[in-house]
């Protein structure tokens, strides 16, 4: 139920993102989801891609600082207030979230929230106990809610 996520450290300069995108395109890697968190001089590009191992190798060969990490994805109703009970569940159990991002899945009418946890196994146990549905990685780059 873990999903590989690629993170790339980028200087906050013109054309740095394009350089990453060029490497991925040249290696036929398709980006499924992405987010960028930035600070004044740098950013972290986080992506779910269809070929995470190949993307990681290609970017490292291109001298980008990058890493692969496991994240968890949770399917929630795409409705007002749907995230709040999940956050309350984590808070009541002392589960720390390192970061998160979300998107909607047009095929399932669900909101998919990607989480990176301090303790993924503890978070998984809490999610399962709470009846939450983890999104599965079913094929390269495909998520099943």
The CA-CA-CA angle for residues 37, 20, 67, to 5°, reads 65
What percent of the chain clears pLDDT 70, i.e. is strictly above it?
93
Give mean pLDDT, residues 18-43.
92
The structural domains of the chain, ordered by start, are 3-69 (3.30.2130.10), 70-144 (3.30.2130.10)
Q: Greater confidence, 53 or 13?
A: 53
The pLDDT-based confidence of 38 (bands split at 50, 70, 90) is confident
Q: What is the pLDDT of residues 96-135, one digit of tens each?
A: 999 999 988 777 788 899 999 999 999 999 999 999 989 8
Contacts of 137 (CB under 8 A, 6+ apart): 1, 2, 3, 4, 143
How far is 53 from 26, CA to CA, in rounded Å?
A: 15
Give the pTM.
0.83
Going by their DSSP bridges, the two strands 136-139 and 110-117 should be labelled as: unpaired
């Amino acid at each position: 139920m873990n999903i590989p996520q690629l993170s790339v450290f980028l200087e906050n300069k013109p054309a740095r993102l394009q350089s990453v995108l060029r490497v991925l395109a040249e290696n036929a890697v398709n980006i499924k989801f992405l987010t960028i968190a930035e600070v004044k001089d740098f950013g972290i590009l986080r992506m779910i891609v269809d070929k995470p191992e190949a993307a990681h190798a290609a970017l490292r060969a291109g001298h980008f600082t990058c890493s692969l990490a496991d994240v968890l994805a949770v399917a929630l109703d795409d409705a007002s207030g749907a995230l709040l009970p999940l956050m309350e569940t984590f808070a009541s159990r002392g589960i720390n979230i390192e970061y998160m991002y979300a998107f909607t899945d047009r095929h399932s009418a669900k909101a998919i929230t990607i989480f990176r946890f301090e303790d993924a196994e503890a978070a998984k146990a809490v999610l399962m106990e709470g009846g939450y549905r983890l999104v599965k990685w079913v094929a390269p780059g495909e998520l099943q809610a």
